[in-house]
A and B are shown apart, each in its own frame.
Chain A
Amino acid sequence: MNWLLEPLGFEFMQQALIIGLLVSIPAATMSCLLVLKGWSLMGDAVSHAVLPGIVIAFLLGIPAAIGAFVAGLFCAIATGFLDQNSRLKEDTVMGVVFSGMFALGLILFNYVHTNLHLDEILFGNILGVSWQDVLETGTVTALVLTIFLIRSRDIMLFAFDPQQARIIGINTRFLHYLLLVMLSMVIVASMKAVGIILVIAVLIAPGAIAFLLTDRFDQMLLIAILIALFCTFTGVILSYHLNSATAPTIVVLMSLAFIVAFLFAPKRGVLKQKSKNIAIDMK
């Protein structure tokens, strides 16, 4: 008990825990979409592409979050445009666009002397957040979660069978861009907590784990959120005791959870399938 309570005596630990939990909810929600729609690379692309936006926002004197958001969205939309107007496959185009933007961001960063720290952007600084950050993240969480839950049936259908979605009158183009906007918002909101390199982990792992554990979309959402909350909570506390970096600790826990699910999932786990094969062999 004391093991749990001791770290929470510090305000920075309270803030870290709260922002971590707040981020993990929309990230886990979006992760289900990313996993099912095959948008994992999109998450990676958008998160890298925010870098030049942050520097340019600094130059213009506007909040970094806005610059990051615009740059991330630009990457997603530019990818879609190039994909539709060239013979290249989407992942190829995406690779070119986001690595280019990331490189541009690195160059800009060295030219412009900002008060920003590159490793804070890349790896987050969950222990150095303010209540203001907590509030902003909370707003994003509420917004993304609300939209997702209200439209969850349509989002599921959009991921599963976009043609049927169109047939019954869902504006799939609008939904597509809405989801990209939500993805960009979540990435920007997670920047403080996990940084743009590791954000992809929290944007994929919970959905991937939940995917192994269930056959229904609603349950997948719920499981993903619960796993993300659990890993974040444990990760924050554990990192205090181990004196380890917080965000990587959370991500490592998620990876462990994935391995456990991969091996032991009741229906799709590797061990379960092995034992089934053995049972068949014995017959």
Chain B
Amino acid sequence: MEKPSDMENPLADTTGAYALPESGEVVIDSPAERAKIRILQRDSGEHSGYSGISAENVTVIYRNGNIGLENANFEVPVASICALVGVNGSGKSTLFKALMGFEHLSQGSVTILGQAAGKSLAKNHVAYVPQNEEVDWNFPVLVEDVVMMGRYGHMGFLRRPSRTDHQKVDEALRRVNMQHYRARQIGELSGGQKKRVFLARAIAQEACAILLDEPFTGVDVQSEDAIIELLRELRATGHVILVSTHNLGSVPQFCDQVILINRTVLDYGETESVFTRENLQRAFGGSLRLHVLGGDELHEDDDARRVTVITDDERPVVIYDEDHNSKSKQDPGKASEPGGSNLP
């Protein structure tokens, strides 16, 4: 039944098989699955051009007539991390809702791994890591219960977890390094740990596409790095990850793709070509803090290169104007002192 979609898209059904490549504990049940893994290993290395998430002419109009998103077009390949960048109210959450099939599209279509969003087959393909404010942290569930929720879509009518389900939960917990917290009530965790639990749920769900809505708010730099490392691992195993963030400084650090959004998609594609000063100014207009520091302000010698510091509200992006080819670089660990200490 699912054969045809497998043919055009080998990623579609093998999400489980390529979990945990490094730990050597992957449970491979069948030769067919092994073959799929091989296809995957071959393809994911070269980014193979399979479309991970794509939107075509998407328009979302809310009930009250507000236009959340208009004529949005983009495409994100599999095995990539894509940043979704835009001002408040630019339609980031709206786009997520459209991808999850929650919001009726007035026009256009969204596909996830070749399947229309919201269709039953596509359902388990999308995992969503909610913003911290959306979760009731007093709810009587333990960490492992939350991760198990990712498995519900794989269970039968009564939602009785099988041995595989328990294994996947263990695996996911180990992967985010939260196995020692499994019996904690979810409210009794730090901000970064909470995020990791929901990431584990996404991993256990074996979704190919993972959507994270502002995962770095209320998370310290160390946890942020841990989460980023995890996202990189997920990318390496063929997932497509969409992250909305105001944390511009970390975008070049871990995202290979960027979508710039302001009620419509302004630009999308590889970070180097899209995440430029001109584009950011276009996306943010006046609401961006932009400091250009010319060489003469910084030091005495006659080096005329400039440093550009752009900040939305959190970690700034610093663009060093080296030999005037405007190469974008990441600034390691400057989150705590925006601006000042980036100077040479």
Interface residues of A (CB under 8 A from B): 36, 150, 153-154, 156-157, 159-161, 163-164, 166-170, 211, 214-217, 219-220
Contact = CB atoms under 8 A, between A and B. Distances in A.
12 contacts: A36-B139, A150-B158, A153-B152, A153-B159, A157-B149, A160-B139, A166-B100, A167-B127, A167-B128, A168-B205, A169-B124, A170-B152
Given A150-B158, A163-B130, A168 B152 contact: yes
B139 A169 contact: no
A211 B140 CA distance: 7
Contacts of B124: 168-169
Contacts of B75: none
A215 B144 CA distance: 12
A216 B136 CA distance: 14
B142 interface: yes
A214 B145 CA distance: 14
B263 to A, nearest CB: 23
Interface string B165-179: 000000000000000
Contacts, number: 67
B123 interface: yes
A67 B124 CA distance: 42
B108 interface: no
Contacts of A164: 128, 130, 149-150, 201
Given A167-B100, A215-B185, A160 B142 contact: no
A126 B100 CA distance: 50
Interface size grouping (class) on chain B:
20 to 34
Given A154-B152, A163-B100, A217 B140 contact: yes
Contact of A216 (B126, B135, B145): B145
The 6 nearest A-B residue pairs measured at CB: A168-B153, A153-B159, A215-B185, A169-B123, A160-B139, A215-B140
A120 B123 CA distance: 50
Contact of B142 (A150, A163, A215): A215
B62 interface: no
- Residue of A163, A219, A220 with most chain B CB atoms under a 10 A cut-off: A163
Interface string B142-161: 10010001101101011100
B141 interface: yes
B123 A160 contact: no
Contacts of A150: 157-158
Contacts of B152: 153-154, 157, 168, 170
Contacts of A167: 100, 123, 126-128, 153
A36 B185 CA distance: 15
Contact of B153 (A160, A163, A169, A219): A169
B142 A216 contact: yes
Contacts of A211: 140
B150 to A, nearest CB: 8
A93 to B, nearest CB: 16
A153 B141 CA distance: 12
Contacts of A160: 136, 139, 141, 149
Given A163-B128, A164-B128, A168-B123, A156 B102 contact: no
B124 to A, nearest CB: 7
Contacts of B135: 161
Nearest to B152: A168
B341 interface: no
A164 B202 CA distance: 10
Contacts of B185: 215
A211 B136 CA distance: 13
A216 B141 contact: yes
A217 B123 contact: no
B120 interface: yes
A161 B130 contact: yes
A188 B141 CA distance: 31
A157 B150 CA distance: 10
Nearest to A153: B159
Nearest to A168: B153
A156 B123 contact: no
A169 B158 CA distance: 14
A215 B201 CA distance: 19
A156 B153 contact: no
Contacts of A166: 100-102
A20 B49 CA distance: 65
Given A153-B159, A217-B141, A220-B140, A169 B149 contact: no
A140 to B, nearest CB: 22
B320 to A, nearest CB: 41
A128 to B, nearest CB: 38
B318 to A, nearest CB: 35
A96 to B, nearest CB: 21
A168 B125 CA distance: 9
Contacts of B142: 215-216
Nearest to A221: B140
Given A166-B101, A216-B141, A220-B140, 9 more contacts: A157-B149, A160-B141, A166-B102, A167-B123, A211-B140, A215-B141, A216-B142, A217-B139, A217-B140
Contact of A169 (B120, B141, B145): B120
A188 B40 CA distance: 57
A159 B101 CA distance: 20
B152 to A, nearest CB: 5
